[in-house]
Amino acid sequence: MEKVDLLITNGWVITNDGGKTFVGDVAVKGGKIFKVGENLKSSLEAVKTVDATGKIVAPAFANMHTHAAMSLFRGIGADLPLMDWLTKVIWPLEGELVSPEFVRDGVELAILEMIKSGTTFYLDMYFFEEATAEVVKRAGIRAGLGFGILDFPTKVASSPEEYLKRARDFVARFKGDLDIIPVVAPHAVYTCSPQTLTKAMELAEEFDVPYHIHLAESKGELAQVEEKYKTTPVRHMKNLGLLRERVIGAHMVWLDEEEREWVAQSGVKVAHCPESNLKLGSGVAPVSDYVKRGIKVCLGTDGSASNDNLNMPEEMATMVKLQKGINLDPTALNSSQALEIATANGFESVGIKAGRIKEGYDAEIIIVDTQRPHLQPLYNPVAQLVYSAQAGDIETVISRGKILMENGKVLTLDEEKIYEKANRWKEKILSLLGG
């Protein structure tokens, strides 16, 4: 009998491959899905077998826009508009606190939350990403990490040239890494000059890596760009020749008809963050229209300071219901499309062959306990995963064949120590806020 590393048996398997679901088995070998079918234990010998009887076996999530370290700011500045939240609360706090230690501890908390809610890849934009990379590797997940690029001085850099140099050093260090996909991450068109945006693209082209940017997020951003450049954020990018396939635009809420066509033609990806956009009053991106145009839409949470969680199952349910509601059409976006946006589209946007339960794909898998009142009776695994399942229902998380969480316990991180560190930072932050 052929040996495999892991055999998951008797689960409701959601392949995310043409809508196919069945009760059966998934075999994993060498970090990849080796075989998918029925009664695989008759022909395979497994190092470890997981009985998934009555449970859902599905692809893990890819969180395609966040700022993981900002988990330590969760709940601060609630109920403010985006620009006030940034300029009056977040940026002043970051000016006082951001350091490798702050980033490391914030990222630990974020990754713990992400694993517990079924995420095995995330796309990040922040500072001191070397510290982030340490935690990512220890936790056993993967991440696309971009050193944030700005035009104004902060604790981490004093000029655009210095930001770009630090970004270059980071990309050069991690290019080809098995766990880290380096990304070039200019913050936004209103915080980066045309020269900075262009140089950032040159860097991304040189190393052949993604280009991640906040784009057309809010009416406030549109007003700033109109005042400064007499155009819109997306037109500004097009005028600079920067609407390219490697771009992953976070938010992309406010696009007119012409801009949507440019995005579709250029291959720009959209990282949709519905709950952050709702909380900050930024609007609702026309995701169903993007999908109809063939634009690759991915799903992200944004940072937990503006969401206020990193819960991808909740984000997925919010996304699909919003599209039905704003379009007054229950068919505007369906559960299969929503799952693909939350899983395969994210992985594939950064060149990872994952997000489907399919032979040859990376084994990024979650197992969901369906013995919960809100998941019974189980008729349609895909629809019920999208509309009914909660993060707490996920009992097992697997990344590249390695079990990161089993029976609800994260195996790669010390949960209690993470909470202790978070509370020490809480005291520091409260002292700065005068609380």
Q: Where are the domains of the chain?
A: 2-59+359-410, 61-349
pLDDT, average across residues 21-42: 97
pLDDT greater than 80 at residue 70? yes
Q: What's the pLDDT score for residue 89?
A: 87
pLDDT, average across residues 239-251: 98
Conformational region of residue 278, where left means phi above 0, alpha means psi within -120 to 50, and beta covers everything else: alpha
pLDDT, average across residues 115-121: 98
Contact yes or no for 283/274 (Cβ under 8 A): no
pLDDT in tens, 362-412: 999 999 999 999 999 999 999 999 999 999 999 999 999 999 999 999 999
Q: What's the pLDDT score for residue 403?
A: 98
> What is the band of 1 on the pLDDT scale with cuts at 50, 70, 90?
confident
Task: Write down the pTM of the prediction.
Answer: 0.97
> What is the band of 345 on the pLDDT scale with cuts at 50, 70, 90?
very high
Q: What is the mean pLDDT of the chain?
A: 96
**Three-state DSSP string of 173-206:** HHCCCCCEEEEEEECECCCCCHHHHHHHHHHHHH
How many other CB atoms are found less than 10 A from the CB of residue 301? 32
pLDDT in tens, 210-231: 999 999 999 999 999 999 999 9
* Both structure tokens of 81: 């508009």
Cα–Cα distance for residue pair 361/122, rounded to 1 Å? 18
Cα–Cα distance for residue pair 402/391, rounded to 1 Å? 20
Cα–Cα distance for residue pair 400/141, rounded to 1 Å? 8
Q: Is 238 helix (H, G, I), strand (E, B) or coil?
A: helix
pLDDT in tens, 168-193: 999 999 999 999 999 999 999 999 99
| Nearest in space to 33 (alpha carbons), one of 395, 397, 365 | 365
Percent of the chain with pLDDT over 90: 91
Cα–Cα distance for residue pair 425/102, rounded to 1 Å? 8
Q: What's the pLDDT score for residue 91?
A: 87
pLDDT greater than 80 at residue 435? no
CATH class entry, domain 2-59+359-410:
mainly beta
Q: Which CATH number fits domain 61-349: 3.20.20.140, 3.90.78.10, 3.40.50.2000, 3.30.460.80?
A: 3.20.20.140
